[in-house]
Amino acid sequence: MDTTSGTLDEALHRLHGHGPEFREYLSNHGPMTVEALAHRGRGDSVHRWLDTYEKRLEDVPPPRSRITGATWREALGDPLRVTDWTVYFSHQVTVQPWREVLAEWWPRLLPGIAGAATHPAIRVGHAVRALTALGEDAPRRSELAHALGYWAARHTTLPVTVDPAGRAAPAEALATLPRIAEQNVTPLRGYAQLPATRGWSATADSLCVPDSPEAVREQLTALVRAATLNYGAYGHGDGVMMVHAATAPNAVLRTLPALPQELWRPSLVVAWAATAAITSLYAAHTPLSPPGASSVTAEEVFERAAAHGDAHVIKFADTALDVAAGAEDGDDRALAAALNAVRLIGSGD
C-alpha cells in the first residue's frame, strides 16, 4: 500500500478535473484503477498509467442548478445533473463525517445500482476502501463525493423485482440463470429483456439470504467468489461486461464495514440482483476452461494485469486477489479467472 508518497491523492486530484464519463456514456475508470494499483503496491505505476488514460477523458460537465435536501428527488437519475450532484456531496462530506453521509445515502442509491453498468457503485467501493485503509484526507473524501454524485446521476433500477427467499448458494443460483434472448446489447436494452426471460425471476429469487449480519457478510463473500470463478468459465461471452458481475458485489462487500448492520441484508439482495442481471445479459452459454495458474503467485497475476494496462483487467484482478486470499491452499481458480481476463480483454478496451 502506498501510504507515504501521496501518489493516490495526487492521482485523484488530477482525475477530479475530469468528468465521470467520456464519449457521452463511457465511464471514467481512472479513480477505481489508480486506487487498485496503489492498494496492490503498484503506486510507482499510477501516474504512468494515468498519463496514458487521461488523454481520453473530458472536462467536468457544466452545472445546472443547485441540489438541496428538498429537491434531490427530482434530480435522482438525471445524468445531466452529475456536476450538481458532485457539488452537493462535496459539501456534505465537509460538514458531516463521511460515514454518516454514506449511511444516509446508501439506502437511497442502492436500488439504482444498475446505472452505468454498476460503475458508480464500484467507484464508491474503491473510495470507501481508500478511506478506511489510508485515512480521511481531503482527496479521498472528495473522491467519495464524486463517486456518490455519479451514482445519484446514473441511478437506474432494474425493471424486475428481486426478492430472494430460497435455499440456493450463490454458485448454485448463478449456474441456473437463463440467458436473455438478444445478446451483445447495451445494459439498458438487456435489462429490459429480463421480465420476459423465462425462469429468470424464479432463479433470481432462489438465493438464500440469511438474517444475521455475519451470515450476510459470508454469503456476499460467497457471491463475489462465485462470480469471479464464473468469469473463468463464462467470461468469454463478453470479457469486459462480465467483469462487473464480480466487481460490483465486491464493491458492496468492501463497503459493508462502513455501514450500519441493518443495511447489510438489503445490500446483499441488491448486489445479487446486479450480478444475476449482468450474468444473464453477458455470460457465454457454454463454459470453457480458463488458462491455468498453478505456477503463478497472486503478485505475479496482478503484475500481469498491471502490465496489460486495461482498467477492467486491473480491477478484476484486484477482486480476484481478494477471492484468492480466502481460498483453500491449492485452489488457484480465482487467479486463473484473472488471467482469463488478461487473455480476453484487449488493451484498448
Please write the tens of the pLDDT for every residue from 29-87. Answer: 999 999 999 999 999 999 999 999 999 999 999 999 999 999 999 999 999 999 999 99
pLDDT at res. 2: 41
Tell me the mean pLDDT in the region 16-29: 96
Q: Which three cell numbers stand for residue 84?
A: 450538481
Tell me the mean pLDDT in the region 245-271: 98
By C-alpha distance, which of 301, 304, 288 is closest to 327? 301
No. of H helices and E strands in the chain?
A: 17, 2
pLDDT(308) > 90? yes
pLDDT at res. 24: 86
Please write the tens of the pLDDT for every residue from 193-231. Answer: 999 999 999 999 999 999 999 999 999 999 999 999 999
pTM above 0.95, yes or no: yes
pLDDT(4) > 80? no
Interior CA angle at 150 toward 146 and 153, to 5°?
135
By C-alpha distance, which of 249, 340, 257 is closest to 293? 340
By C-alpha distance, which of 174, 228, 171 is closest to 204? 174
* Long-range contacts formed by 294-302: CB under 8 A, 24+ apart: 294/332, 296/332, 296/335, 296/339, 298/324, 298/325, 298/335, 301/335, 301/338, 301/339, 302/40, 302/42, 302/338
pLDDT at res. 186: 95
Burial class (CB in 10 A: 0-12, 13-18, 19+), 330: exposed
pLDDT at res. 320: 98
Contact yes or no for 126/87 (Cβ under 8 A):
no
pLDDT(305) > 60? yes
pLDDT(348) > 70? no
pLDDT at res. 1: 42
